[in-house]
Amino acid sequence: MDKVILKEFVIPFKGISKKTIYHFSDSHLTEYDDLSDANEVEHAKKMTNSWEGVRKGFCEAYGCPYGELEKQTACEHLSNLLALANDGDALVIAGDTMDYINGANLRLTEKLFSSFDKPFVQVCGNHEPLKDIPDGYIVSRMKNEIQTIDLGDMVIVGLDNSQRKISVEQLDALKRFVEDGKPILLVMHVPIMNDENRELLLKSGVYFRLNYDGCPKENLEFIDFIKKNGNSFVAILAGHLHYSNVSKISDEVTQYVTSQGVTGNIHRYVIGE
CATH number (domain holding residue 231): 3.60.21.10
- Global pTM reads 0.97
- Domain holding 41, by residue range, is 5-271
- Count how many domains the chain has: 1
Q: What was the pLDDT predicted at 23? A: 98
Q: What is the 3-state secondary structure (H, E, C) of the chain?
A: CCCCEEEEEEECCCCCCCEEEEEEECCCECCCCCCCCHHHHHHHHHHHHHHHHHHHHHHHHCCCCCCCCCCCCHHHHHHHHHHHHCCCCEEEECCCCECCCCHHHHHHHHHHHHCCCCCEEECCCCCCCHHHCCCCCHHHHHHCCEEEEECCCCEEEEECCCCCCCCHHHHHHHHHHHHHCCCEEEECCCCCCCCCCHHHHHHHCHHHCCCCCCCCHHHHHHHHHHHHCHHHEEEEEECCCCCCEEEECCCCCEEEECCEHHHCEEEEEEECC
Q: Tell me the angle at which helices 74-85 and 103-114 cross, rounded to the nearest 10 degrees.
A: 20
Tens of pLDDT, residue by residue, the chain (273 residues)? 489 999 999 999 999 999 999 999 999 999 999 999 999 999 999 999 999 999 999 999 999 999 999 999 999 999 999 999 999 999 999 999 999 999 999 999 999 999 999 999 999 999 999 999 999 999 999 999 999 999 999 999 999 999 999 999 999 999 999 999 999 999 999 999 999 999 999 999 999 999 999 999 999 999 999 999 999 999 999 999 999 999 999 999 999 999 999 999 999 999 999
pLDDT given for residue 2 in this prediction: 80
The tally of CA atoms less than 13 A away on the side-chain side of residue 147 is: 23
